[in-house]
Amino acid sequence: MAMDAISVIRTKRDRAALTDEQIDWVIDAYTRGEVADYQMAALNMAILLNGMDRREISRWTAAMIASGERMDFSSLSRPTADKHSTGGVGDKITLPLAPLVAACGAAVPQLSGRGLGHTGGTLDKLESIPGWRALLSNEEMLSVLDGTGAVICAAGDGLAPADKKLYALRDVTGTVEAIPLIASSIMSKKIAEGTGSLVLDVKVGSGAFMKTLDDARELASTMVGLGTDHGVKTVALLTDMSTPLGLTAGNALEVRESVEVLAGGGPADVVELTLALAREMLDAAGLKDADPAKALADGSAMDVWRRMIAAQGGDPDAVLPVAREQHVVVAPTSGVLTRLDAYDIGIAAWRLGAGRARKEDPVQAGAGVELHAKPGDPVVAGQPLLTLHTDTPERFGYALEATEGSFDIAPEGTAFSASPVVLGRVD
């Protein structure tokens, strides 16, 4: 059946449903280069504005899976469990979580991505470790997974290649937030990856792509349904992203904080969410009696981290990059910090060089924002609230614009109630 990109774009532009044949053709043609980036960008925008029904999303996901190969972990002696976050600010949870779950007996084949807009990317963070490699062949990935219990790497060229192209395009065309595109992007890779179970961390709030609990629940339900339909046991936690996670947003900055968590310290919210997701992953993998808190406390999770980093060429003892320049933002008044906006902090980190404006842009390993207080903390006029890090000080002015209005300080004695980290669950 003859197809062309313009007809497919017009169908969705005019709020009609794409046929199975249109979806199969456009994904295949885009993967082969027959459909240009600017044409797929137009279709993505039409999808963002007009949506897709359940059949369209399912077919779109299946077409992306069919664009490449599927992996098989049946040779492993351990049950497999994976996790995916929809992206947030300071969301370094994958780094301590993967080795923690592996230390409890599961195999964690963690395919991760790079930064999207104001949100950080796991691979960008880990690449701040000297020597560490994100790109592994399927054989290397299986070898690391078999030897250490966990691997964090990029999806290979053969795994959902349609998504690899679409993922980068969405970042630079303002279409990251489209629920059908988010759901199909995540689930096509996870289903093709071959994991036996999957836990989704769906972020909610100003620093997330889903700003409201209703939208986040819709996305979670869509992805849980896609996973279940393809035989992957899938559950989702809805978690707060109105405030940055932890005390850092940036690449090397977040690696340092993750190592602190693995060493038995780290910020309370990072530890809490890491343990909550670990328990869900272990339960989904049939290891509900395992105790992730014990594995964090006794050093076994740290042992797995060190083996995992070394197995991918990294030096777990290497000194991490530090930005050449810093700028401190101080509290203008004394009182209680009642708001620290995740989106504003994410934009500031991005502008400092921790993220990308174009898909081919490099990132600065040391760039980002360090937080010296979180909502609920008392502050004194003149004390540091934020430290901005970058190698290029000409970025400070642009980043400081993002921090203006990013926090509120109430009078001393003001009552404050923090939002819970976990807001809900979908299964």
- Residues labelled catalytic: 84, 163, 170, 185, 189
The Cβ of residue 14 has, within 10 Å, a number of other Cβ atoms equal to: 9
The Cβ of residue 72 has, within 10 Å, a number of other Cβ atoms equal to: 11
One-letter amino acid for residue 119 of the chain: T
Residues 6 or more apart whose Cβ sits within 8 Å of residue 19: none
Q: Is 417 exposed, middle or buried (0-12, 13-18, 19+ CB in 10 A)?
A: exposed
One-character DSSP codes across 373-416? --TT-EE-TTSEEEEEEES-GGGHHHHHHHHTTSEEEEPTT---
Place of tokens 């970058």: 390
One-letter amino acid for residue 344 of the chain: D
Q: Is 112 exposed, middle or buried (0-12, 13-18, 19+ CB in 10 A)?
A: buried
* Chain Cα centroid distance, residue 386: 23
Q: Are 208 and 243 in contact (CB under 8 A)?
A: no
For the chain, how many residues are written? 427
Q: Are 47 and 175 in contact (CB under 8 A)?
A: yes
The Cβ of residue 412 has, within 10 Å, a number of other Cβ atoms equal to: 12
Facing residues of 154 across strands? 112
d(CA 412, CA 44): 48
d(CA 322, CA 252): 7
The Cβ of residue 343 has, within 10 Å, a number of other Cβ atoms equal to: 22
Residues 6 or more apart whose Cβ sits within 8 Å of residue 31: 67, 161, 162, 165
d(CA 340, CA 366): 22
Q: Are 128 and 251 in contact (CB under 8 A)?
A: yes
